[in-house]
Structure 1
């Protein structure tokens, strides 16, 4: 069962389905449910912020919580990630073998450009990171699900149709991003791989960072996008101090994927942004 079947959840559902698994994706939309049915899935209309819609969840061997945030929903990130996960934990059949929670590296604070791993203390500055950390706390302290769960802290997920600023680069518009600072990434296909490894592992740690292990300077990333698009070299400007770009850049850290590689055998199809962007843009 994939709770929140969006940018990562759809290819994950397709991968499970192709392996012969019965897949139950959740959605809040009846139209989306019809599309899932046409793909051979068994959709469930449910909303993690509404416990009444979670009362009849089916039994599933593996449950993946991969809910995205909809700014138009009228609820907070904490309502979705933290309280939403809590609602799911209260509703899951206890026959579930494994629960995988797709979290974020946004739970960390600024590391001054140093390398961060699973043992690094968390100090999120933004609301999303704080909400995810609260959700992780619920899971790691739950009397039933703590011992059956894996938390995957995802770096920035990119892939087809999700390359930030590509339209601005083609148009020659200045990119609001500060100089310096590491950008940590994971291609969507490799995010799916990591989730499947966590689902299938016989032995596992409760927490993994999911990154390609190749941090890149933010401006170098945009330069590579421009090169592949045959666009002019991008120009940059300092973002407004209150903008999301400035706040993201305020936490300079390099993510280590060593535990994921050594324990679960993770081998990224796109070991850096170069291979990942080339696979999309060429």
Structure 2
């Protein structure tokens, strides 16, 4: 049986590589005919479609597992709800009923405002940002779908790694960071996240929090990143015109990965931000 990836971006492309390395047949959806042609050359089965519009292509009947890892592209002219919620609804209606596993990539942004508490899967959801609100609405849609009993929601902490080191350019240019130095960051390296997706093919709880389990105070994280970049020490200057509760740079919660560890026993290649940042910066400087 085959795999299908909808959202073959930063995370999805790495899952694709892992599945190919395992000898799986992989379908991947893209809006770009040019990208579809490139994928064909790699032995990937492309599906050219846009989930923000009616899916007028036939769904393959040999799909066993689906990864829905769609990111938001502000340049595409669609709202985040149109992509995350309406797009998911189209996919769920389009898929064959024989799907065995549906893996949905969500975000810890579905949680509300906290003051440094540890958060687990049963903590109350009260998203303050539009992305978190759309993720939660999509989760609720999936829970009411025919695939609910075959799905797992992976709520990812901040994903980073080669090619994605938030604020690196600002630090190098000695720009003040629109964030507070206090409060916790919760992270997961993209390589570890991709391997966890594959582990989630087996039966699990309906929802799992995905992080490295080693929250770090924001000021400490950016100080280490500046050191690795040989940049000046970070400066912090939170904007005064945005409610703190809605700012990504003001979040303050610690994500527990205890259920993830208990159910899937992942082995982290990058168990904390120091190991992960060092790897990401080495790749960035070599590119």
TM-score under structure 1 length normalisation: 0.94
Q: Deviations over 1:77-133 (max 9, x none)?
A: 111111111111111011111000000100000121101000101000111111110
- What is the aligned-residue RMSD (CA, Å)? 1.7
C-alpha spacing 1:115/1:106, structure 2 compared with 1 (3 Å): same
- Contact 2:103–2:200 under 8 Å retained in 1: yes
Of 227-236 and 120-129, the range deviating more from structure 2 = 227-236
Alignment of structure 1 residues 193-208 onto 2, 5 Å: 193-199=195-201, 201=202, 203-208=203-208
List alignment gaps of at least 5 residues for structure 2: 283-287
* Alignment coverage as a number of residue pairs: 279
Q: Deviations over 1:136-168 (max 9, x none)?
A: 0011122x2000000000111101110011122
Superposed displacement of residue 215, structure 1: 0.9
Alignment of structure 1 residues 110-125 onto 2, 5 Å: 110-125=113-128
Of 214-223 and 18-27, the range deviating more from structure 2 = 214-223
Alignment of structure 1 residues 119-268 onto 2, 5 Å: 119-142=122-145, 144-199=146-201, 201=202, 203-242=203-242, 247-268=247-268
Is 1:50 matched up with 2:31? no
Q: Quick one: distance in 1 between partners of 2:264 and 2:60?
A: 29
Q: Quick one: distance in 1 between partners of 2:126 and 2:37?
A: 41
Alignment of structure 1 residues 40-119 onto 2, 5 Å: 40-119=43-122
List alignment gaps of at least 5 residues for structure 1: none
**Equivalent residue of 1:175, what SS?**
coil
Superposed displacement of residue 255, structure 1: 0.4
Of 235-244 and 29-38, the range deviating more from structure 2 = 235-244
- Contact 1:240–1:246 under 8 Å retained in 2: no
C-alpha spacing 1:219/1:53, structure 2 compared with 1 (3 Å): farther
Is 1:279 matched up with 2:246? no
Q: Deviations over 1:17-56 (max 9, x none)?
A: 0000011111111111122122221111111111233543
- Contact 2:107–2:135 under 8 Å retained in 1: yes
